[in-house]
Structure 1
Amino acid sequence: MNHEQFIYQPDKKQRLADFDPDFTNGFGSEREAQERMQEDVAEMAKYHDILMAHETNGLLVVFQAMDGAGKDATIKNVMSALDPQGCEMKMFKAQTEKELKHDYLRHAAQSVPARGQIGIFNRSYYEHVIVERIHPEKLEQQKLPRAAMKKDIWEKRFRHINNFEEYLLDNGIHTLKFFLNLSKDEQREKLLERMERNDKRWKFSREDLEDREHWDEYMKVYEEAFERTSTEIAPWHIIPDNHRWFARAAVASIILAKLKSLHAQYPTADEKQKKEMAQARKSLRREKPTTKK
């Protein structure tokens, strides 16, 4: 699969409309995509184990999308085989009263995975340059100093975020960013399904419909966020999401490729470890059996 086709490249003056949410090229059928995803997910488990063994790099996986795009299900399906000892997911919900008193990147900074680990953000610090632009009352709740509430606040935040992701990379934490690109018509169907199915009804929120009324505004601010923060070290991947089977296969393929690029093999033992293991072998072989054969 050609991963480059999903990357939002600001230097090409792309628009979000340039990415077709119905795109499914690369697979002959849904079954083929599902089989490939299962293979990739199984292989991800191997390279996740190698990542944990090295403890020199970590991976942060960010998911953003409109409501109904299936972030939860994508995370569940793609990350299902990972060792829970080396993987953690964080939900970015409405800020608590305590969080509102701190800087907006604090929650993200405290949730960044350690080296050797994979961290998953279901929504993320990008909410602060997307949702707060559509709902300024959420920004006002933070009670920022008047000097910080100027027109250039969003440009400054884009710069903060780029610097934050560069800082993470300088410390061995690589960032993968996915936007699940669902069309407005398909969102309508997913929201209707959410209300009509007992197993999905609990997810429904009136806010889903309220945000849908701002669809065009959301697309505009998302586009600007991609324009400002899709960088060489942390590009945005715009994943076609009208067909969930394709979206999951694409995400799995991209994550697997990233893990392979970090470490291809398990670490080899250095001279100190070799000596320690040689001594340990001798010690274990000198032990007498506790039971007779």
Structure 2
Amino acid sequence: MKSKTTYREVLKWASSFLETCKREPIAAEILLRERLNWSKTDIMLHLNEEMPSDVKHQLLQDVSNHGSGIPIQQLLGYCWFYDRKFKVTKDTLIPRPETEEIVDIFLKSTSTEQEKTVLDIGTGTGIIAITLKKERPLYEVTATDISSKALEVAQENATTLEADVRFLEGDLTNPVKTETFDVILSNPPYISNDEISYMDESVLHYEPHLALFAENNGLAMYQRLAKELPAILNPGGEIVLEIGFKQGEKVQKLFQEAFPLAEVTIKKDMSGNERLIQVKAK
């Protein structure tokens, strides 16, 4: 690449490079925008200008690293979720757009005037717990995780975003066995170990397996939650669980058996995939 190049030329090269690495070409523009804190409009306005050498060096380094498999969020050290910036590290699962859909579905069914006790199981970066507290300030929010390193990140995110969330270390519901809640949410590990060979290498190498994979064809955590949650859900309470797109009927059956009188429904995401189990107890 010649020493003096425009934003347009560098982005064109970077996008083509990522495509040869089987990465999304648009990642080059995303990385540039995030590094410069620019909008898409800013990019358009500067396309024909010469890219400064330090900016070009950073972009080429980012593109090379992403081409080798490092996720964009880990290169940047953060991700966006519900229009807020959350720190991410190798010790936390990178939040997916599907999880944002789930939070959105839940929030649209609630009122800002309601007071509820809420539990987020397996909080990771704290995105669900913190988002709920910011969007529903009257909620009393508790979040658990088995990973102390993940909880450190979650607590840092809560402090940065000024969200009053209680974080507890422990396996699933163990830290809150003597408490009860109006709402329980969780995005537990649900990928079967048999699916490892089909996973993107960037996920396998750069995200914690503890937060991804589960035994019993990916159902182990749901089986445990179905046994544990009846004891800590208040009458008339609600459970919201993210699921794998092929797990709907099996997880629905587990929770219908655990809550015989409850309304247990499967909800789909914007792509039409089964993505959510909602339990509304009597």
Higher gyration radius (CA): 1
Structure holding more strand per residue: 2
Structure with the bigger percentage of helix: 1
